[in-house]
């Protein structure tokens, strides 16, 4: 009977420790998610200036931020990543800003970073402003800074709240891929 009571206490203690470890890991995951994907390092839109603006994965909220930068003449060139240059390139015109659409190869943040760096070398650019979504900001900065040695500012657009949880989970996998398996430009 005494042995059974001791075994029960030991099991309870083990479950408590396991629960505490799971709770600490969950809190760590939430804190890291917040730092990397909810409040990442980013730069303000107002007053930003560079040799080119690079709009990653052109879409609604990102395009609105890009338009604000174009109206402020933040850069003389705006590179816009699109699925199809013929069908998806925005039909916009901004005085003093040349709009250039491109389809990255591969069609990913890595492809966008490579294209932006190649254009920077070709045109002797020393600074870029990246326009991306809030959850993608950390990974986009990592990818572009691997390919481009100049100054990189990251300006973000807020994604729809309905997709935010999915975006954070996706970004964990995508950031792990960028940091572990695809470590080069």
The total number of structural domains in the chain stands at: 1
Residue 21 lies in a domain: no
Asked if pLDDT for residue 1 goes beyond 70, the answer is no
Does some domain include residue 89?
yes
Domain span at 111:
52-181
pLDDT digits (tens, 9 = 90+) for 121-172: 999 999 999 999 999 999 999 999 999 999 999 999 988 888 888 988 999 9
pTM for this entry: 0.83
pLDDT digits (tens, 9 = 90+) for 75-108: 999 999 998 887 788 888 999 999 999 999 999 9
Pairing mode, if any, of strands 52-55 and 151-157?
A: unpaired
Domain annotation covers residue 46: no
pLDDT for 4: 59
Q: Is 59 left (phi over 0), alpha (psi -120 to 50) or beta?
A: beta
Overall average pLDDT of the 39-44 stretch: 69
Domain of residue 163, CATH code: 3.40.50
In a domain, 85, yes or no: yes
Q: Is residue 134 part of a domain?
A: yes
Burial class (CB in 10 A: 0-12, 13-18, 19+), 97: buried
> Does a structural domain hold residue 154?
yes
């Amino acid at each position: 009977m005494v042995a059974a009571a001791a075994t029960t206490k030991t099991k309870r203690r083990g479950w408590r420790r396991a629960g505490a470890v799971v709770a600490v890991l969950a809190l760590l995951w939430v804190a890291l998610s917040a730092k990397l994907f909810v409040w990442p390092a980013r730069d303000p839109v107002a007053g930003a200036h560079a040799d080119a603006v690079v709009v990653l994965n052109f879409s609604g909220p990102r395009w609105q931020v890009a338009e604000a930068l174009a109206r402020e003449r933040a850069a003389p060139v705006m590179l816009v990543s699109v699925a199809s240059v013929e069908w998806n390139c925005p039909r916009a015109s901004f005085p003093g800003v040349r709009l250039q659409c491109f389809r990255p190869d591969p069609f990913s943040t890595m492809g966008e970073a490579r294209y932006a760096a190649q254009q920077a070398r070709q045109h002797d650019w020393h600074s870029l402003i990246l326009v991306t979504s809030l959850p993608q900001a950390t990974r986009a900065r990592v990818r572009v800074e691997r390919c481009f040695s100049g100054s990189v500012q990251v300006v973000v657009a807020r994604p729809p709240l309905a997709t935010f949880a999915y975006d954070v989970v996706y970004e964990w996998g995508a950031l792990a891929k960028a940091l572990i398996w695809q470590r080069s430009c």
